[in-house]
A and B are shown apart, each in its own frame.
Chain A
Amino acid sequence: MITTKGLTKRFDGTLAVDALSFEVREGEVLGLLGPNGAGKTTTIRMLAGLIAPSRGAATVCGHEIGRDGAALRGRVGLLTEAPGLWGSLSAKQNLEIYARLYDVEKVGAQVEKYLRLLELWDRRNDATGTFSKGMKQKLALARALVHEPKVLFLDEPTSGLDPQMAKLVRDFIETLHGQGRTILVTTHNLDEAQRLCDRVAVIRTRLVAIDDPKMLHARLFQRGTLVRLKQVEARFVEAAGALEFVSEVRLAGEELHVALENPDENNAALVRRLVEVGADVVYVTSKEPSLEEVYLKLMQEEDEA
């Protein structure tokens, strides 16, 4: 549905996006993950036909970007970083105008559908300037959907929302995923990316990594075991580190983070050894690195490179 090849954007002096190549398959949710200034918004703007790439190419819904801008823009939906509503106009007016600009046939029906779906129907006649941040975001989401685009670009859809509203928006994105829409969503919330996305592309001007969130873990981290002790002493760390199947032991408070080859096989021996040297084991669990750790590690590797 979306293919980019060497997509590059330079603003005057700054290189905002460098040679980005990736693909988003039909019906897939791809997370674009990266710190502030990584080029996420710039990438989305290029793909949504708002700005032209300096180099490289991309096709979205079969349209090459930079060719027939209007046709491309009509086929995709964009949730911009800021809701950008017309504050003096009502929710209904905002949505109706966009429905018309997008050549929607049954304007009234579409507007009602999305206002109801996003629970804004009761407030449809209120000026959007009076809306809470979450309501504004929901209306902006409705605006991106009113012409039923197959491809959706969502630029930080939950940023700045309270947890409850963020969950609502996330659930809604999952519904959209279930409808088979192709979604490119940017975020710097790793947890969110993990929950929403089929695959995650980590970018920092360049593409750092792209994969299934679980595969990213596996690629970057060995499996590990977390052992909580009643009290940590240096000799426990030493003893664990001396075991041949252990590659690394990190200490975090009263917890030992032990990287080892195969927890299913090695855990028993690890615990036995710790008990032998006099440690009181409180509990043992498997340690799954969070996407956050993956991300930080990737960024660290980037810095070193």
Chain B
Amino acid sequence: MEKMKLLAEWKYEPKKIERGYAGRTLYVNIGDRSFKEKPVTEDMKEKFVGGRGFGLKLLWDAVKDTTKWNDPENELVISGGPLCGITQYPGSGKCYTVFISPLTEQTYDSNAGGYFGPLLKFSGWDALEVQGKSDRDVILFIDGDNNKVEVYESPFEDINAVTITEALHEYFADSEEDKRNISVASTGKGAETTNWGCLNMSFYDLRRKTPRLKQAGRGGGGTVFRDKKLAAIVVRKRGVGPASNNPADISVLQRTGLKLHKEIRDLDDQQNKMRKVGTPHLNEIMNEYHLLPVHNYKFGQHPEASKIHSKIFEKLFTQGIPDGCWYGCSMACAKAVDGFELKTGPLKGKKVTVDGPEYETCAGLGSNIGIFDPEWIIEANFYADHYGIDTISLGTGLAFVCECYELGFLNKDITNGLELKFGSKDDLMELIHRMGRGDDKFASIVGLGIHKMKKVFAEKYGAPFEVMEKIGMEGQGIEVSEYVPKESVAQWGGYFLTLKGPQHDEAWLIFMDRVNKQLPTFEDKAEALHYFPNFRLWFSLVGLCKLPWNDIEPADNVVKYKGIEAAKVPEHVQNYVDLFNAVTGKSITKEELIVQSERVYNFQRVFQLRLGKGTRRDHNIPLRAIGPVFPEEWEVRTEYYDNELKAAGIDSKGLTTEEKIRKLQEYRLSQWEQLVDAVYKRRGWNKNGIPTVETLKRLGIDYPDVVEVVRKHSKPEDNWEE
């Protein structure tokens, strides 16, 4: 590769990490190519902890109430958190990217594995804030070895992820071994042509001799990245080791880590087999329990689901390689298919390593679009990553398109010759390539996302908006991830009463609610919708991966603890408390851990409000998410749905299926409203879903500008009656 043209350079003082923090953040304006460092105050650590918390705080200070996703003042803030980069405990290399999303037009945060977060911190920065827009494609390089930041003009014609990541690992490394000290954040052409742009964060796999890509998939962060004309961000830091975080008590990290390594070694094969199959262990489980999305979430099961059984992926994934996406992750679920020969697209005939597919991709780019062909799924997975497109939004978006096509709302004239029925493998793959090329008008409309597609399909092609409103699986502007929520009231909240839209990273309560029957009342559901979102948010503050929390559990967990307590995996929660204290030198309790999250949860809620969202109106739910829309959905589960009507005290004798569907919808919508009320009350919000000033005070986030936003939007009639 030719020498890149340097456009700007900035030198900084080296900084030793103290107890998990560098104590400062890096600001880069990619528009005027200016740089500065900002201090991390004690208050910032106390109230926002790190990671997503830092991202939200920095973004809050950077934008106006009116800022849109493509305004120059929108930022991409990437931050790991105080535990990010420890090597003793599995799952400690995550970083979080925060930005205003092109899909939801409010703040979004998305996490990725790979080495980016740790290497950024060990280069001396708790967060990287990128603002402004460049006039040309650039590569931002953080050189943690020589303590400088550089901006290069990008020489790349092809900015797709695999191409650019391979080239930049090569360019910035002195040797094959040195490639491990580099991480590249990139996206691809599809992030320009769609709102579904993802970020790929790399780590170099020395055994395979290739970079691997882990995605911050959701929310359109890649689209913001390309809007700023970033081609890549590279970070390099050599000499990272077990003490790089300079923890207060390293022995606790070693002890706690060893305990979990042992659990994983002894129990993973009997539990989720994460080391062999990764998250696709869920493929058959979800199908068995009617939760696998099939044909745009119409159904939860399909006879051909056995073709995407994890046993099949187990054979396709290369075995015997420790697939951790950061040092020390013995959970090692970052599975990959090696030597995969691409059958289509610009790299046709090339043999590649494909990261994944994960469960979500198997379902989104599989069952949900009526495809049960593992090789097709792997190919689609590869190209989605390469083009920088989130596989989840892509899968759910394509499922919506297929249903619209089958309902006759779209035809080949509209789709420029593509027959987009469920299972139309060749034409669906071609549509993905058209998104990756950006040369097709229909593909561009699809890439707007379901929320906007509904409007365009109605206005341009006369498709009935009210039907699309029922079947379009999105909330707050973003596509639902890959679980059928219609049979669990609590999961309606887990998906649709969320900060940023229906993603499964807040609460996944389907089993607890529907199968285990542990949440019988609305208050029980609200309690779970308080605890689990807050507990899970904590991972995003400190730089940890959620999977080692409960995809492995101590052998005696279900003997020692009962019910919901067991579901919390108390010993692992204690590990997290111990790890936090051992790194930072603080002494929080498990209750304080939840309060740390609750602060950021409420701060983000107020942030959405500040940007013109964040009220009850924005917690919308499509009818397909709460029950059947069409008779065929009812008729595959007649017994279940008839019983549901009966349990609701509705006499269904003599009713047609359509009438029964209407009755159930009415009933479930009233349940939805009850759920919303119960959850808002539990969270300390008013009737309109706005945190009260008392809640802000209780959490210590009653900063004047935060309180002002709440006051401005709160009305007396939204207070709860005594």
A and B: partners? no
Interface of B toward A, CB cutoff 8 Å: none
